[in-house]
Amino acid sequence: MIAREPFGSTGHESSRTIFGAAALWAMRQDRADRVLDLLFEHGVNHIDVAASYGDAELRVGAWMKRYRDRFFLATKTGDRDYAGARDSIRRSLDRLQTDCIDLIQFHNLVEPEEWEQVYAPGGALEAAIEARDAGLVRFIGVTGHGTRIPSMHLRSLEAFAFDSVLLPYNFTMMANPEYAADFERVCELCWERSVAVQTIKSVARRRWQNDDERHFSWYEPLRDAAAVRRHVAWVLDRPGVFLNTSSDASILPEILSAAASAQAPSDEELAADVARWEMEPLFEAGERERI
């Protein structure tokens, strides 16, 4: 079974591996139910979804209504203004078939102009606080992609007492000294303040080389089972961080199995994977940060 740790200061003991429900984007309900049932086998008790993940909220809601008290449920809004975020939260409540979301997060808050809008009067933060005060959500977090997101998270954490952050963390991105230094600063501040740190892209191989192929994820994941185990284990070897699973459901069993019995690899083993599988960072400064 996957180990559990306190999810920041929320009072919830979350599985260190969190199910990333983007994997359910366009699934039929019967298949989504089978995927979600895997969570019980490995002790996963935390699900992360978003309003923009296709039909994922609908798939989670139809399944979870039977098990709501067994899961910490998080979703995200991409709206930056008060009215949009207020409506987004209420739609998510309906789609998830629940009267309370455990964690609402601002989705990919990396662009400075969007950041300013969220925190300004009439911004999305007001809607999130209002929903928390009304008992519609319990906690508030912020997420993001790309090389700039650690510095933006530091800015967000100074502006508001967030309960969680989410950002990329894998072997290839941490080979970038500037990104690694910023990531460490985010972790240090989060540990000081008991803010939960969620990580994404643990098993990312590279961006797709052929855009004509049909994909289940916007990036190409590792598929070699041994490599998946090593890179999952590398993330979970770091105390205090959570690993959010891939948006490609086909590798979910390997990720969950690796998380349940993770043994940290050496840097030499990971470097060999980078060479063998031609792994590349998903994000570099500039336009490639946009997904």
pLDDT at 215 over 80: no
- The pLDDT of residue 39 is 98
The answer on pLDDT for 286 being more than 70 is no
| Average of per-residue pLDDT across 8-33 | 97
Query: Measuring CA to CA, which residue among 87, 162, 92, 83 is closest to residue 126?
Result: 83
- What's the average model confidence in pLDDT over 8-31? 97
pLDDT on residue 291: 55
If DSSP codes are grouped into helix, strand and coil, which group holds residue 41? helix
Predicted TM-score (pTM) of the model is: 0.96
Distance CA 149, CA 14 (A): 24
Neighbour tally for 108: CB within 10 Å? 22
pLDDT confidence bin for 211, thresholds 50/70/90 = low
Q: Supply the pLDDT for residue 284.
A: 78
Which neighbouring-strand residues pair with 137? Answer: 101
Looking at residue 112, what is its pLDDT? Answer: 96
pLDDT band with cut points at 50, 70 and 90 for residue 261: confident
Q: Which residues pair with 177 in a beta bridge?
A: none
- The Cα–Cα gap between 182 and 146 comes to 12
Q: Where residue 290 falls among pLDDT bands split at 50, 70, 90?
A: low
Q: Could you tell me if 151 and 289 are in contact, meaning their C-beta atoms sit under 8 angstroms apart? A: no
Tell me the pLDDT band of 289, cut-offs 50, 70 and 90.
Answer: low
Is the pLDDT reported for residue 212 higher than 60?
no
Whole-angstrom Cα distance, residue 109 to residue 85? 13
Report which secondary-structure segment, H or E, holds 139.
strand 137-143
CA distances from 260 to 27, 145, 233 (A): 26, 26, 9
* Mean confidence (pLDDT) of the chain: 95
Between CA 184 and CA 163 the distance in angstroms is 18
pLDDT of residue 285: 72
Q: Which CATH number among 3.50.50.100, 3.40.630.40, 3.20.20.100, 3.40.1130.10 corresponds to the domain 4-284?
A: 3.20.20.100
Q: Is the pLDDT of residue 106 over 60?
A: yes
Coil vs helix vs strand at 117? helix
Distance spanning both ends of the chain, measured CA to CA: 33
Complete DSSP assignment for 180-203: HHHHHHHHHHHHHHT-EEEEE-TT
Its sign, for the CA torsion 8, 12, 13, 15, is negative
3-state secondary structure 216-235: CCCEEECCCHHHHHHHHHHH
Query: Does 6 score more than 80 pLDDT?
Result: yes
Kindly indicate the confidence band of residue 263, based on its pLDDT and cuts at 50, 70 and 90. confident
Which amino acid appears at position 7 of this protein?
F
Report d(CA 209, CA 123) in Å as an integer: 39
Q: Could you tell me what percent of the chain has a pLDDT over 90? A: 92
Q: Is 235 exposed, middle or buried (0-12, 13-18, 19+ CB in 10 A)?
A: buried
Q: What is the pLDDT of residue 288?
A: 53
pLDDT at 66: 94
Distances (CA, A) of 26 to 36, 44, 53, 215: 14, 22, 9, 12
Distances (CA, A) of 99 to 67, 102, 205: 14, 10, 38
User: Helix (H, G, I), strand (E, B), or coil: what is residue 161?
Assistant: coil
Q: Is residue 55 predicted with pLDDT exceeding 70?
A: yes
In this prediction, residues 144-155 reach a mean pLDDT of 96
Give dist(CA 154, CA 181) in Å, integer.
12
